[in-house]
A and B are shown apart, each in its own frame.
Chain A
Amino acid sequence: MERRTFLTTAAIGAATAAAGVSVPAMAQGKKAVIGVSIPSATHGFMGGLNWHAQETIKRLKATYPNLEFVLATAGAVGKQVNDIEDMVATRNIDALVVLPFESEPLTSPVKAVKDAGKWVTVVDRGLSQPGIEDLYVAGDNIAFGRVSGEYFKANLKPGAKIVVLRGIPTTLDNERVDAFKAAIEGSGIEILDMQHGNWNRDKAFSVMQDYLSKHKKIDAVWAADDDMAIGVMEAISQAGRQKEMWIVGGAGMKEIIKRVMDKDPQIPVDVSYTPAQISTAIEVTALKFVSNTPVYGRFIIGSTLITAENAAQFYFPDSPF
């Protein structure tokens, strides 16, 4: 019974919000409902993202009693579309924070939410049509490649030989690799090989084994992902060539950050591409409902070089990633 009355009040709150009343919901003493729709934890990065989303929601609920959250995780595109429709139909959300599973199929369902007068925050993967979202929060793939490339350029002599592992063939992967290549241009660094490791430990392990049989001299490896960096490290230690080369991964997995903190010579640095970007998106969206802070626009989280000095601020020992 209690629950039903709550739903009605929430519905009234949503109705007034939808009617174009721009006063923050809190001012009226009504609860604002924020729906969060993200892909389920099918691999390390998404696992981290799920964990950060849950932690942020827990924290915001405690801080702002007038905010209500609905979290839905989807293992497939269709499920995510259903989740979003359900949130609008049954939970009367005031805002939607969404990390689209795929851009194309999610565009029109999210647009429908926007057309219903809700606030829309899109995270990480953009929609295929511009101008739908009120707020866009994302990591910076080009900077991810550039920062990695600049580190290689600064720390290798001309003529140095490196190998690269690529992710799953996608636009995102191309952006990173192109930016990396642009950054090392003119440095005299030679890329011996570039194969897809699919952001997967096992695949990266066998690709690196083959690189090691093929090339007698490798000075450094751009693994471009922390999961792949772990596979690469095992392959190198199997071949007993740990002293010969160092590895740069990427993303910010806790095991790798720990090694950077401990000054492991094999993993000198890491490049951030944080799953905590979902926290940024939820926090900033929450600000819209608890204050008059302007939060529309784009929020691009930089990819920075994680070194032994600043590693502590990227280290989340409780996160699964």
Chain B
Amino acid sequence: MSDTTQRPAGALPAGAAPGGPASRLRLPGLSALGPLLALILLVALGAYLNDNFLSAGNITNVLARSAFIGMIAVGMTFVITSGGLDLSVGSMAAFIAGVMILAMNALLPSMGVGVPLILAGMAIALGAGFLAGLGNGLLVTKARIEPFIVTLGTMGIFRSLVTWLADGGTISLDFGVRQLYRPVFYSGLFGISWPIIVFAIVAVAGQIAMRHTRFGRYCEAIGSNDKVALYSAVNVERIRLMTYVLLGLLVGLATIMYVPRLGSASGSTGMLWELEAIAAVIIGGTALKGGYGRVWGTVIGVLILSLIDNILILADLVSPYLNGTIQGVIIVLAVVLQRGKSSSA
């Protein structure tokens, strides 16, 4: 993904949004509104098809479900914006969940069931996420291997490690610990469940980091043209490494919210999360080749993906065999909508 040679030199100044004439920088153009439009249409469709669609229960379900992929996708936005890619996040989530549960079960006799044990588990998840992200990042920046290959490799490694840890079965959290930890997924503040709150904080922080910090600008500069960024005294390797570490930490955070839901991890945990996260990022308007990132778009992309699933089940529109087709069509349409507009603009 580090396309240093293909791009004609000097095609874009570092840090500028590609295809962004000055007139389009003030208002989000129609192309930027494409995913938002698709989301609104989906919500209207859902409300029309089923009365329970807009019920608090269903909205909570959909948002809480989106939270895991959502947090990961926000991190993925930075990786992709800076010209990278991470295919390992789904397997990484499964691996971190496995390590976290095993560690908590192992610490149980010495620490007893209590808040410190849960906090220790959370620290381990974040630590594991940090190390996993650091590993990916170092392989990309220091060993200079293509991110696609690095993360394809670590994807297989994490997946097989969790299967091995689980002895092919399922790793389950001790029942007593589970009861104490359960509210982290199932309860919340003012009727809004914790995963939704955490996801919202991550999304807002991500949006600020992308738009209003040097880190965000550097990510876009590197993704746009890493040579120019390097000559402009940007520490390209360090920023790239940071995007992978950030993503690893967010995968750890997602796992912290995920484990209390079912209290278990297995070889099939987090299956295809990487593709959902990448799809959400692209639907949201971030360029897959890097150079331009849009965090709020990613959030909308995640919501679109969860809503399609939800509506298909609530509505009984088509044979369940065709669910994948409908999802595929909507994903492609959402992207066509914005790309079509942006190329004509």
Interface residues of A, Cβ cutoff 8 Å to B? 40-44, 46-48, 50-51, 75, 166, 169, 193-196, 200-202, 205-207, 209-214, 227, 230-231, 234, 238-239, 255, 319-321
Contact = CB atoms under 8 A, between A and B. Distances in A.
A207 B313 contact: yes
A166 B313 CA distance: 13
Interface in B54-77: 55, 57-58, 61, 65
Given A200-B268, A230-B262, A41 B169 contact: yes
Given A47-B167, A195-B313, A320-B168, 18 more contacts: A40-B168, A42-B268, A44-B168, A44-B169, A46-B168, A196-B320, A201-B262, A207-B313, A209-B61, A209-B65, A210-B61, A213-B53, A213-B314, A230-B262, A239-B57, A320-B167, A320-B169, A321-B168
Interface in B256-290: 261-262, 264, 266-269, 271
A169 B163 contact: no
Q: Which residue among A48, A51, A166, A202 has the maximum number of chain B CB atoms within 10 Å of its CB?
A: A202
A43 B167 contact: no
Contacts of B50: 214
Contacts of A193: 313, 316
Contacts, number: 95
A238 B186 contact: yes
B320 A195 contact: yes
A141 B217 CA distance: 58
- Interface range on chain B (Cβ under 8 Å from partner): 20 to 34
B168 A47 contact: yes
A46 B271 CA distance: 17
B2 interface: no
Contact of A169 (B55, B166, B262, B321): B321
Contacts of A319: 169
A41 B170 contact: no
A239 to B, nearest CB: 7
A214 B53 CA distance: 8
A166 to B, nearest CB: 7
A43 B271 CA distance: 11
A243 to B, nearest CB: 18
A185 B24 CA distance: 62
Nearest to A73: B168
Q: Is the interface of A mostly helix, strand, loop or mixed?
A: helix
Contact of B314 (A43, A44, A214): A214
A41 B55 contact: no
Nearest to B171: A320
B163 A41 contact: yes
Q: Which residue among A48, A193, A209, A255 has the maximum number of chain B CB atoms within 10 Å of its CB?
A: A209
A308 to B, nearest CB: 20
Contacts of B3: none
A178 B258 CA distance: 35
26 contacts: A41-B169, A42-B163, A43-B266, A43-B267, A43-B268, A44-B170, A47-B163, A47-B166, A47-B167, A47-B168, A48-B168, A50-B168, A51-B169, A193-B313, A200-B271, A201-B264, A201-B266, A202-B269, A206-B309, A210-B313, A214-B313, A231-B262, A255-B172, A320-B166, A320-B170, A321-B170
Nearest to B52: A213
Nearest to B68: A202
Interface string B302-326: 0000000110011010001101000
B262 A206 contact: no
Contacts of A75: 160
A294 to B, nearest CB: 34
A207 B310 CA distance: 8
Contacts of B160: 75
B238 to A, nearest CB: 36
A213 B320 contact: no
A78 to B, nearest CB: 15
Contacts of B65: 206, 209
Q: Return the 10 tightest CB-CB contacts between A and B, nearest first.
A: A41-B168, A47-B168, A320-B169, A47-B169, A210-B313, A320-B167, A213-B58, A209-B61, A213-B52, A321-B169
Contact of B310 (A46, A210, A230): A210
Nearest to B309: A206
Contacts of A231: 262
